[in-house]
Amino acid sequence: MTDSTQTPRCSVVIPTRDRLESLERCLRSLGTLDPALAEVLVSVDGPDGGEGEMVARIGTGARVLTGPGGGPGRARNRAIAEARGELLLLLNDDVEAGPGLVESHVRAHAGRNSDAPAMVLGSAPWAVCEPDRVFDRMIRETSMVFFYNTMDDTDPERDWGFRHAWTLNLSVPTRVARESEGESGRGVFDESLPDAAFEDLEWAWRVAHRFGSPVLYRPEASVTHHHRYEPKRYFERERLLGRDAWALAGANPGCARDVFGRDVRTREEVDYSEAFVERERATVERLQEAFLRLVERPGSSATREHIESLYGQHMLIKRWHWRCGLLEAAGKRQRGRTPHAA
């Protein structure tokens, strides 16, 4: 068990809910950490669903916290309130830690100027699943979900900006996280944003603006991300992101403007979205049907150029679903038939 009298250098925070297999893989990959180095806080988004028994069985010394459900932000807040480490390392429950993950994050913060504390992003390559499809390669090799494919480590002091502060593998001084809470009383992570969507960027935006914190990339702090998207589910996610864009603009208009480059709640934006959705409906239906067939082919059948071409072709479908979600959040009913992702 962890020595509760010793202050660890780092508190590893893992929000979770109903994903015991993924969580066990994550905890086993971290192993039993030196109490002087780190504690591990597993924060369940709701009541204990077997996490306590599993953690006790594998014996890594992690602590399990439970409480009212409300999304990953609320679960992280619960753990941040309990954290004893000088640093927070925020992980997803579906990542597998690489060798020396915690030590790499600790080294990245060592000796930094406390007046400009950093958020440190580690790498997170996608796990390769079998059978490997064209779609799986698109997720791994393009910016469909994250932008890791555009990042490099040639300048270790480059600030990649708050839009790269993804909490699947991100560390920050604990005091910075706690002091980033705004005056709204909605928590360090804004609990009015319950989905796993923009809640991390909204928080990182506040950290960057309050402390001037850069987002630094340290690829040696690596995890493997075990999350396989299905093509139809991917487009469902885009609709959710459209709905959550509306919520983000209500919770933090400044952050939303920086993310989207405009105010997505204006009358003009809603009118444009309605016209766009109606105008492109038939085209999207045709393109989506063809896309869903093509991306199920074996990944080895596609060249790099083919992957890039499909990525470009799918952007209209992606944007169409996003605008459908935005309209749903705005309370607009769509006319006629919709090419649902499901």
- Note the pLDDT of residue 183: 64
Please list the residue range(s) of the chain that carry CATH number 3.90.550.10: 10-225
Average confidence (pLDDT) over 272-299 = 97
CB of 99 closer than 8 Å to CB of 150: no
Cβ contacts of 155 within 8 Å, gap of 6 or more: none
Parallel/antiparallel/unpaired status of strands 119-123 and 215-225 = parallel
The percent of residues above 90 in pLDDT, for the chain, comes to 91
- Note the pLDDT of residue 342: 37
* Cis-peptide, bond into residue 131, ω within 30° of zero: yes
CATH code, residues 10-225: 3.90.550.10
* Residue 192: CB atoms within 10 Å: 18
Strand 169-173's sheet: what is its strand order? 63-65, 38-44, 10-16, 87-91, 169-173, 119-123, 215-225, 95-97
Residue 190 tokens, joined: 């804004």
CA distance 116 to 119: 10
- Mean confidence (pLDDT) of the chain: 94
- Note the pLDDT of residue 339: 53
Q: Is the pTM of this model over 0.85?
A: yes
Helix (H, G, I), strand (E, B) or coil at 219: strand
Average confidence (pLDDT) over 66-78 = 97
Higher pLDDT, 332 or 205: 205
For residue range 127-172, what is the model confidence (pLDDT) as tens digits? Answer: 999 999 999 999 999 999 999 999 998 999 999 999 999 999 999 9
For residue range 164-213, what is the model confidence (pLDDT) as tens digits? Answer: 999 999 999 999 999 998 766 789 999 999 999 999 999 999 999 999 99
- Note the pLDDT of residue 202: 97
DSSP letter, residue 126: B
Of the candidates 64, 41, 72, 18, the residue with the CA atom closest to the CA atom of residue 191: 72
- Note the pLDDT of residue 1: 40
For residue 336, name the pLDDT band (cuts at 50, 70, 90): very low
CA distance 104 to 124: 14
For residue range 111-122, what is the model confidence (pLDDT) as tens digits? Answer: 887 778 999 999
CA distance 71 to 244: 13
